[in-house]
Homo-oligomer: A and B are copies of this chain.
């Protein structure tokens, strides 16, 4: 048990004191950050984030940035960090596109088989890096099903997994192709990058998320997918294995109770909510809220308050 958990034990959620922050930083070796609402809001980095990340890195902490966005690969996502002046490595990013490829790799996916992809380029790029063959993706975005009498859609019997990620070019061709693979290829896996109902594709409003694409395939196959992104445990387990860490050495920092904090708690991590995203202090402290992080702060840069003290003790 890390000190901050012991300190907060039995007292419920509380705003982090200076002592809590110091104990938190001292007690964990790795911080996993949700991005939107923690690192940035839309296209703007949140105040104080670069300095906070620099401080944690200087203290030797491993930093990991997780996102359920599967439209970009890790490398593709790096562009967003760089454009915001954040200096990180692609390997520190855990996108759900990477998680899907890493999952297949972890189960030693037969490289003579193929994956059918509903989704965008991120998934394809990550599959390429793992040497996994695929079909579908953006290339099927313009295909139309012509339902003339006797029409029959062929499908590749070597498809042994279907990955479903967010796809703004979802169409009936892709739905039918994925359905045929899952229903007719014996043992074909059904993998979802995530099932988020809505997502912040733009700052202006919420957009239907990958819950829609996954729901379409659940509806025609009556099969439930294996989810690799938040809040499932795969991503976390993969991070812990890669860095050789135990759950108690990791702190999950997020702005959403029902995904980020629950994701951390499911994995046995220390959890820290920041109020710089979608959750308000009122919602957090409401009697109807059932998800309680170990502690919470206004924003990530609140950790900077511990800087001076830590420098002395480090």
Interface residues of A (CB under 8 A from B): 42-43, 145, 147-153, 167-172, 175-176, 179-180, 183, 195, 197-198, 201-222
Q: Do residues A147 and B211 form an inter-chain contact, with CB atoms below 8 A?
A: no
Residues of B within 8 A of A180 (CB): 205
Return the chain B residue nearest A43 by Cβ.
Answer: B149
Q: Do residues A216 and B212 form an inter-chain contact, with CB atoms below 8 A?
A: yes
Residues of B within 8 A of A152 (CB): 202, 204-205
Q: Do residues A203 and B150 form an inter-chain contact, with CB atoms below 8 A?
A: yes
Q: How far is the CA of A256 from the CA of B205 in the complex (A)?
A: 44
Minimum CB–CB distance for A212 against chain B, Å? 4
Q: Do residues B220 and A197 form an inter-chain contact, with CB atoms below 8 A?
A: yes
13 contacts between A and B (CB under 8 A): A147-B202, A149-B202, A150-B202, A151-B202, A179-B208, A197-B219, A198-B220, A210-B219, A211-B219, A212-B216, A214-B219, A215-B220, A216-B216
> Of B150, B195, B197, B219, which one neighbours A212 at CB under 8 angstroms?
B219
With A153-B205, A170-B171, A203-B149 known as contacts, the answer to whether A220 contacts B216 (CB < 8 A) is no
The 4 closest A-B pairs by CB, nearest first: A215-B219, A211-B219, A215-B215, A208-B220
Q: How far is the CA of A214 from the CA of B175 in the complex (A)?
A: 13
> Of B170, B204, B206, which one neighbours A170 at CB under 8 angstroms?
B170
With A170-B175, A172-B169, A204-B150 known as contacts, the answer to whether A212 contacts B217 (CB < 8 A) is yes
Q: How far is the CA of A148 from the CA of B203 in the complex (A)?
A: 10
Q: How far is the CA of A168 from the CA of B68 in the complex (A)?
A: 28
Return the chain B residue nearest A168 by Cβ.
Answer: B172
Return the chain B residue nearest A203 by Cβ.
Answer: B150
Q: Do residues A172 and B208 form an inter-chain contact, with CB atoms below 8 A?
A: yes
Q: How far is the CA of A167 from the CA of B216 in the complex (A)?
A: 12
